[in-house]
A and B are shown apart, each in its own frame.
Chain A
Amino acid sequence: MEIVVNVVKEKIRKKMLYITTILGILVVMLFSTDMGSLTIGGKNISDYYVLIPILINVVNFLAGAISLAMSITTIPNEYERRTSHLIWARGVGQGKYHISLAMGNVIVSWISGMILYLTLGVFAIANGYSNILGQIFVATLFMFIYTAIISVMTSALSIKLPAVVTGLIMIMLFVGGAFRSILLLVSAVLTGFGGTVVKRIIKLIPDLAGLSRQAGNLVQGKAVDAHVIIMGLVIIWIAGLGLIFFRRKEA
């Protein structure tokens, strides 16, 4: 537990966390006030109730980006600074150590995500939709899964790979996951062997877009697809196994 708390303490001192969170709040503000509106099919969409699924997408995406940025260097830094020496020397196993560090990353991601969702809630009240506060609160659970996927995967990869390589892989998976629906749409027109390969690759990308869509559905009182949630949890579990089984040769 000490390691988890220490990671959280260290991360909340990072300027990047505050800058990104403030940026997120500004984006939510922009969409939530008269300053911002969307035009879909020639119709101006400024009703908060209609905007909220889009806002959830945006907020989850920002929380995911914060999660990636916060998680990428945690484990490599521990080994580079040799903080790991004093942990290993105390008999803490690598699996437990890596899980603790990743848990710290996840908690930081959740904190920043919750701040963004809090902003959503505030603007829901400001726009006269205090009746959907409960749904927004429940929708944060989707954000928890969304950011945990990014955070645990990033942490696991960073055990074995250099930060730059982890970053590149995770940016591809993250952006691909956030726009998975579009990728699926585009790949639908692809045919032949190449098309099959592309479709298979897309299937391997975590369905982050799906999670945001389900959160939006929940807020709007539509049906929620449990399959997307279960798959998200499975991905966290698999990445969690990576935290246990990926090992450093030396502290």
Chain B
Amino acid sequence: MNCKEERERKTRKKLAEKDMITINNLTKVYKKNTVVDNLSLSIKKGEVFALLGANGAGKTTTIKMILGLAKVSGGDIKIAEGSRIGYSPETPYFPPYLTAMEVMSYYAGIGGDKSKKDKAYLKSLLDMTGLEDTKTKVKNYSKGMIQRLALAQALIEDPDILILDEPTAGLDALGRKHNLELLKKLKDEGKTIIINSHILHDIEAICDRGIIMKKGKIIDTWTNGVSHESLEDKFIRLVGAE
């Protein structure tokens, strides 16, 4: 291996080890109710990270704080400088009178980068998510199609970090498979992905590691492939136990 290759290898390794998100003692209090309690974690570049927990565990609030959609009550969140973030919400709403292409064009315009408004580029993102019909109005879309559109709009700014809240909810088996394959592809491209999902089978299929939350606290961590116990069994054992 020559010097140049060695240098490139080291750079790649360094980049891969780079923390994209570092959270220290993150706390969120709503009307005296602590919904996220002293959460600390770090997510490296290229990782697919899972936020797990039952409803009300504080996952979505954590995501909202990372995105700046909710104020932080305590602690801090550090995001790697210059990182672009794409977000697909749990219950996406798009103007029903717009077509998928119009929705994409709308969000591309809001993002501020005019080059992202290119129709061919936006069409490629829609194709990537399996939403080939770009002329039908959103009001005629199924839940699964809206989910795909939500994922497509999250990719507009070519984000370094992708935050997906229930990305496979509402999708049929084929749709789920397609989405999971897409997420694997995005991971291979070096994107850092944070997923909040209740479908543990999907988590096991694509995530590298994650945390299990309960009442705002991390009750355990999970790393793919290191334990004989399935994620589902672990989840039921930990979350189900009072």
Which A residues fall within an 8 A CB radius of B? 1-3, 6, 9-10, 13, 81-92, 249-251
Looking at B39-47, B86-94, B123-131, B229-237, the stretch in contact with chain A turns out to be B86-94
B71 contacts partner chain A, Cβ-Cβ < 8 Å: yes
Q: Mark out the residues of chain B between 73 and 126 whose CB falls within 8 Å of any chain A CB in the assembled complex.
A: 85, 87, 89, 91-93, 95, 97-98, 106-107, 109-112
- B interface secondary structure, majority: loop
Contact between B106 and A6, CB atoms less than 8 A apart: yes
Contact between B110 and A3, CB atoms less than 8 A apart: yes
CB closest residue in chain B, given A10: B95
Chain B residues positioned under 8 Å from A250 (CB to CB): 64, 69-71
CB < 8 Å neighbour of A89 from B87, B91, B109: B87
Chain A residues positioned under 8 Å from B91 (CB to CB): 82
B68 contacts partner chain A, Cβ-Cβ < 8 Å: yes
Question: Which of B67, B87, B93, B107 counts the most A-chain CB atoms under 10 A from its CB?
Answer: B93
CB closest residue in chain A, given B61: A250
CB < 8 Å neighbour of A2 from B69, B70, B109, B157: B109
A-B contact count (CB 8 A): 53
Which B residues fall within an 8 A CB radius of A? 64, 67-71, 85, 87, 89, 91-93, 95, 97-98, 106-107, 109-112, 153, 157
In the complex, 29 of the A-B residue pairs with CB atoms within 8 angstroms, ordered by the A residue number, are: A2-B109, A6-B95, A6-B106, A9-B95, A9-B97, A10-B95, A10-B97, A82-B89, A82-B91, A82-B93, A84-B69, A85-B67, A85-B87, A85-B89, A86-B89, A87-B110, A88-B69, A89-B67, A89-B85, A89-B87, A90-B107, A90-B110, A90-B111, A91-B112, A249-B70, A250-B64, A250-B69, A250-B70, A250-B71
Min CB–CB distance A98 → chain B (angstroms):
14
Cα-based distance from A249 to B67 in the complex (angstroms):
14
Min CB–CB distance A212 → chain B (angstroms):
34
Chain B residues positioned under 8 Å from A82 (CB to CB): 89, 91, 93
Chain A residues positioned under 8 Å from B70 (CB to CB): 249-251
Given A9-B97, A10-B97, A89-B85: A251 touches B110 (CB 8 Å cut-off) = no
Question: Which of A10, A249, A250 counts the most B-chain CB atoms under 10 A from its CB?
Answer: A250
Contact between A89 and B71, CB atoms less than 8 A apart: no
Chain B residues positioned under 8 Å from A251 (CB to CB): 64, 69-70
Min CB–CB distance A213 → chain B (angstroms):
40
User: What 6 A-B pairs come out closest when comparing CB atoms?
Assistant: A2-B109, A251-B69, A81-B93, A89-B87, A250-B70, A89-B67
Question: Which of A6, A87, A92 counts the most B-chain CB atoms under 10 A from its CB?
Answer: A6
CB < 8 Å neighbour of B87 from A2, A6, A13, A86: A86
Given A82-B89, A82-B93: A89 touches B111 (CB 8 Å cut-off) = no
